[in-house]
Amino acid sequence: MIAQVVGFDKDLVLPSILVAFSVLAGYVAIQSIYYFYFHPLASLPGPFFARITDLYGGYHAWTGRHHYHLYELHKKYGPVIRYGPNRVSFNSATAVKDIYGATKPLRKSAGYRALLLSGNVFSLFTSIDKSFHGKRRRIMSHGFSDAALRSYEPIVQERIDKFLEILTKEAGADGWGASKNMSRLCAGLTFDVMGALVFGQPFKILEDESGLSYVIDAIISASRSVGVMVHLPVFGKNNILFKIRGLFRLLFLSLKDLKNIKAFLALSAKLTRERTAQEAAKTAGEDIVKAQGVPNKDILGWILAATDPETGEHLSLSDVWGEARVLIIAGSDTTSTSLSGALYYLSRNPVILNKLRTELRTTFSSEDEIWPGQKINSCSYLKHVIEEALRMSSPVGGILWREAAVDHVVQGVTIPAGTDCGVPVYSIHHHTDYFHDPHVFNPDRWDENIVGAEAVAAAKSAWIPFQIGSRGCIGRPLANMELTLTLARIIYSFEIRVDESKRGVGQADVIPGHTEFETKDQLTAETTGPFLQFKKIEA
Ligand code: HEM
């Protein structure tokens, strides 16, 4: 009946489908032959499917193990790999400078556009255009100046107090607290800190696990799709796919995830509106917490007060909301992974743990003394433990794609304009040219007096947990503050032991015989454990 009305012949349906398939198959075959044999990158080595389709990288990103996979590929194919029809992965310190160096003619890959929540409203993190980024970075940097950082210290310390209380909360008669999943607990701390620093009030996840902890779940689940899309540049380049990217995201989300994400968006919008209104009423920017005689503000307080140096304009409400969301996401998950990672390695290396405790106990005479300043800066072993944890299990372990704006030479290879390239962080952090025994946790590798200046310089040239150049992490000093204070206070005051019943949870065996803190890469990382117990050291 329908066939009669629209006037088509049923007998032609099958042949038409066959013709359509043949045309599609022919197109794919011709394109693959082009990519494989005639494309400017055709001579570069790499897995067969990676050379003809981005779906190869997309699939490995979906597994969350693409950083470990790239490490294997670089071992097999050498320092340059074609990891997509128009994508090249490099594994050398020279490539780090050639790709991410501040003056190089590259910008963030179109894949980042797929991360936009609505329309074309870019944030500091997602912006691709260099001049937009430069202006936004100048405004945002007010929130990360030395003065701003000093104003955050008491807020961070207050949350660490709460965190330390929890470590031995349900302690038994022997003084050992109950086993804790440190990934979850550290996330409670860092999300609370970011809530307090961005909006002027902590989420209080540490106090009430059932309260706003959905914020953590919302961000973990939203990151799963983001972690894949950033490896599929077609979402940023093709306008139709860009418009329907929300449907792609749904593939990764359960109804509960959707509910959490919706609630997080509503909460962040409400807090941004309230905070902006406060600032407009000139009540913000005043002291939030009075401590150490430092006037305190939160990050939005600094940013709302800042103006564009050229136009003199303030950020709009939707821009501020966008930046606030990004700060919560970029600042919480990364810092909590670093903290859990450091605790994973310390809990499994008692000699290193004791050396660190000795340094802290000879520098400070009580835990209360542990504040930012000269004394903590003099704790070189603490610094090296953190550097080494960030090397071993970097919170951003994958490859951060940059697109060449013009033909550009990277590590001696000419990258045509429009091609994406990058250096996978896990691979270079475990490269034997820069790190002796790279799968061993060894903070001494950062000490010139032990391994020599040359070895440390080589290691530093390949250490990129925060990335380098103009797109490097703006929150690095804040992350350092949180990491040094929290670790110093834990190790100063608590004994640590591994919950043996869960020793293997959240552990990766990338190289036989070496266990590592596992990160599931989804632009940032999803982690579990370590499961640890704590006991207060008697004074
Ligand atoms: C140990 C903790 C952290 C690590 C390992 C880390 C790592 C990184 C990396 C690798 C990038 C570059 C991303 C890219 O190119 O796509 C980045 C950018 C960024 N990070 Fe962090 N981050 C950390 C903590 C923080 C904190 C605490 C904040 C904010 C409070 C923050 C805010 C940002 C922002 C806004 C950007 C974008 C900067 C720009 O494009 O100009 N991060 N971070």
Nearest CA to ligand 1 atom 7: 466
Cα(310) to ligand 1 centroid in Å equals 25
Predicted confidence (pLDDT) at residue 294 exceeds the cutoff of 80: no
pLDDT per residue as tens digits for the range 102-126: 999 999 998 898 888 766 778 899 9
Cβ-contact 427, 71 below 8 angstroms: yes
Predicted confidence (pLDDT) at residue 458 exceeds the cutoff of 50: yes
The CA distance from 503 to 528, in Å, is: 11
Q: Locate all alpha helices (DSSP H) within 230-316, ordered by sequence.
A: 234-237, 239-243, 245-250, 255-280, 299-305
Cβ-contact 234, 240 below 8 angstroms: no
Bridge partners (DSSP) listed for residue 421: 88, 402
The CA distance from 220 to 251, in Å, is: 15
Which homologous superfamily does the CATH classification assign to the domain defined by 39-536?
Answer: Cytochrome P450 (1.10.630.10)
pLDDT per residue as tens digits for the range 3-17: 555 566 777 777 777
Residue 394 Cα: closest atom of ligand 1: 5
Q: Per the annotation, where are the binding residues for heme?
A: 473
The CA distance from 413 to 404, in Å, is: 13
Q: pLDDT higher for 184 or 289? A: 184
Nearest of 109, 85, 111 to residue 228 by alpha carbon? 111
Cis amide linkage into residue 465, ω under 30° from 0: no
Question: 350-363 vs 476-493: helix axis angle to the nearest 10?
Answer: 90
pLDDT the model gives residue 225: 84
Nearest CA to ligand 1 atom 11: 473
Secondary structure (H, E, C), 52-76: HCCHHHHHHHHHCCHHHHHHHHHHH
Average pLDDT over all residues of the chain: 89
Q: Per the annotation, where are the binding residues?
A: 473
Domain boundaries, the chain: 1-38, 39-536
In testing the pocket of ligand 1, which one of 473, 480, 483, 521 has its CB within 8 Å of the most ligand atoms?
A: 473
Tell me which residues have their CB closer than 6 angstroms to ligand 1.
124-125, 137, 326-327, 330-331, 334-335, 338, 395-396, 400, 465-467, 471, 473-475, 478-479
Predicted confidence (pLDDT) at residue 238 exceeds the cutoff of 50: yes
pLDDT the model gives residue 199: 86
Provide the pairing of β-strand 494-498 with 106-108. Answer: unpaired
435: amino acid identity, one letter: F
Cα(477) to ligand 1 centroid in Å equals 10
Cβ-contact 143, 278 below 8 angstroms: no
Confidence of residue 315 (pLDDT cuts 50, 70, 90): confident
Cα(83) to ligand 1 centroid in Å equals 24
**Could you tell me the sign of the dihedral formed by the alpha carbons of 18, 21, 25, 30, in that order?**
positive
Cβ-contact 82, 41 below 8 angstroms: yes
The CA distance from 48 to 84, in Å, is: 10
Cα torsion at 223, 227, 233, 235 (round to 10°)?
-30
Structure token pair of residue 496: 């640590």
